[in-house]
Amino acid sequence: MNEPQQKWTETIESDHSLFDLRLKEVWKYKDLVYMFVKRDFISSFKQTILGPVWFFINPILTTIVYLIVFNKIAKLPTNGAPPILFYLAGVTLWNYFSGSLLGTSYTFTGNASIFGKVYFPRLVTPISVVISNLMRFSVQFLLFIIGWLYYLSKGEVHPNIWVLATPFLILLMALFSLGLGMIFSALTTKYKDLSMLLGFGVSLYMYATPVIYPVSLLPGFLKKLSYYNPLTGIFECFKYAWIGVGDFSPIMLVISSFIILVILAIGIVIFNKVEKTFMDTV
């Protein structure tokens, strides 16, 4: 008798479009995304005394340092905004972007042992990093809101309708860190020196972004050039929306959105290409 032909429930193929994100497949593994997010959260504060309280301590201490160094000593202006709230806004946004970028950049090198043993959509890993950092951002954003309410009660901030754009700004930062992180994660499989330079590069990038200074402080040429920094429109819009200060125009967000989508597309192509062969180089 002929044995009945087996029917496979899952077929794994490496042949797919370079632009294919396979989001349906990622959705099927949403429980794995949750597990990775939970793992990242727990491992971040394992064997620490204060645990999640560090979510608050980090931006508070950073804001105090910026206040002393850049406001009191360097005398950098804040466009009339309360200095503490100005720096806290920048720190909150920057921590989310830098944390997501650095975490995503280790997708291949940091998870090689898992990738070599079991199959799951590799995109699950960078997405989980972006989501876990979003949890940290939510806590730090709560701290910003507390400070914002205090200055609002004193009439020192002047929010406007652009506050409603906040979810869009967060989405842009998430996509930017995801796209850029996928590019670096792919490159570090072949050039491991990049992983050592990335942290330094991110620190330098902060000073090219209006985190500790307003765009209006820059001279003409540098001001126009700063518009092509994808984070400039995001940071200026956020400060303008919540605090009511900043040299913001909608065209800045249009430029940021376009550049971020281009970087995301490049990241997808490189990520999908490298994931097929990275085990040979890691």
pLDDT digits (tens, 9 = 90+) for 22-59: 667 777 877 877 887 877 777 766 655 566 677 788 88
User: What pLDDT is stored for residue 280 in this prediction?
Assistant: 45
Q: Is residue 153 part of a domain?
A: yes
Q: Is residue 59 part of a domain?
A: yes
Domain count, the chain: 1
| 134 closest CA partner among 167, 181, 180 | 167
- Measured distance CA(226)–CA(98) in Å, rounded: 18
Q: Is residue 145 part of a domain?
A: yes
Tell me the CA end-to-end span of the chain in Å, nearest whole number.
Answer: 48
pTM: 0.85
Q: Is residue 184 part of a domain?
A: yes
Interaxial angle between packed helices 83-105 and 124-153, expressed in degrees from 0 to 180 and rounded to the nearest 10: 180
Range of the domain at 203: 23-33+51-280
| 104 closest CA partner among 181, 163, 52 | 181
Angle at 106 between CA 11 and CA 232, to 5 degrees: 110
Which positions of the chain have pLDDT values less than 50? 1, 279-281
CA 103 to chain centre: 9
Q: Is residue 164 part of a domain?
A: yes
Q: Is residue 138 part of a domain?
A: yes
Q: Is residue 223 part of a domain?
A: yes
Angle at 118 between CA 113 and CA 119, to 5 degrees: 120
**DSSP assignment string, 25-55:** HHHHTHHHHHHHHHHHHHHHSTT-SSGGGHH
Q: Is residue 10 part of a domain?
A: no
